[in-house]
Amino acid sequence: MSKGRFQGVLIPVPTPFTASFKPDAKRFIEFCKWTLNQGAHGLAIFGTTSEGNSMSFSQRCELLDQLIGAGVPAAKLMPGAGACSLDEAVKMTQKATAAGCGGVLLLPPFYYKIANDDGIFRFVSEVVQQVGSTDLRVYLYHIPPMAILPFGIELVGRLIKAYPETIVGIKDSSGDWSNTETLLREYPDFDVFPGSEIFLLQGLRAGSSGCITATGSVNPSGLREVFDKWQTAEADDLQARASEIRKTIQNYPMIAAVKTMIAHFHEDPVWATVAPPLLPLDDDVASALLSDLSSIKFEMVKP
């Protein structure tokens, strides 16, 4: 874990949408504040769970301004800056850095699947150089199930070597512990965040910096407790409970399931809305999810 950088439990906060699929700033701000109050160390906004790539650049910028303007500390924010367009990735990274955000979460340019390590390196290098700020901290976003294009082990090493003060961490959403373990072993001063709380305790014991996980948005206090007590006798039981909740939710379409849970437990049906091309859970599936959660005695804290 590196001093002065993100560590702990970071939550990819879902984005509430209006009936016309515009971001609902009021609900977003309220939920971000609730999440921090529940123990999250930071917020990884505008990523996959936030449906960041279903929002325009201007929508993300406006939401970021409103969130910071409402008193959420910019230093606790890790906005997603990924885009297929170099210009958009640069502008979003510039925006977040100028606003004082603690870092950005950067996807590989994911449309052209023919891109290789050299092409991805070139893209990230251009983002870093065009932003040109010593305040910039980039966390790579390795999510091959979605992006297909990877931040492979060797490419990560090249980027660290080229920009050691800027490329400081990675969210590993491969779901492959061996990949996470290799990153931790090969780059011990690099901040590695597993993309699932299933690996939270295992990662901390191996030297990870915490986790950045979609389902943290419905169990932030539980994950914070694992992080705070990972060196105690309680750690394995706390981790087992966190994993039980995660495994129950991931049997369903993740983003729609998380939003269904927020809508139900926070008694606000607007939260169930997802932006196209995603679809909400149909009534039968939503009922099955809630039944499964009831069977493991899951409750979500109300705001």
**Neighbouring residues of 11: CB distance < 8 A, sequence distance ≥ 6:** 35, 40, 42, 43, 44, 212, 213, 216, 217, 220
pLDDT in tens, 81-98: 999 999 999 999 999 999
Task: Assign 164 to helix, strand or coil.
Answer: coil
Residue with tokens 């560590």: 7
128: in domain: yes
The Cα 28–Cα 105 span in angstroms is 19
pLDDT in tens, 149-196: 999 999 999 999 999 999 999 999 999 999 999 999 999 999 999 999
Whether the Cβ atoms of residue 209 and residue 179 lie closer than 8 Å to each other: no
Mean pLDDT to the nearest integer, 265-284: 97
282: in domain: no
pLDDT in tens, 60-76: 999 999 999 999 999 99
264: in domain: no
302: in domain: no
pLDDT in tens, 217-250: 999 999 999 999 999 999 999 999 999 999 999 9
How much of the chain, in percent, has pLDDT values that exceed 90? 97
33: in domain: yes
Total domain count, the chain = 1
The Cα 99–Cα 274 span in angstroms is 28
In the beta sheet, which residues pair with residue 106? Answer: 140
249: in domain: no
Mean pLDDT to the nearest integer, 281-285: 98
219-254: burial string, b at 16+ Cβ within 10 Å, e else: bbebbbbbbeebeeeebeebbebbbebbebbeebbe
Residue 271 vs residue 302, higher pLDDT: 271
Indicate which CATH number applies to the domain containing 81: 3.20.20.70
| Torsion (CA) 231, 235, 39, 79 in degrees, nearest 10 | 80
219: in domain: yes
The Cα 209–Cα 197 span in angstroms is 12
Average pLDDT of the chain is 97
pLDDT in tens, 3-29: 459 999 999 999 999 999 999 999 999
How much of the chain, in percent, has pLDDT values that exceed 70? 99
Domain residues for the domain of 210 are 8-225
Q: What pLDDT does 303 receive?
A: 78
238: in domain: no
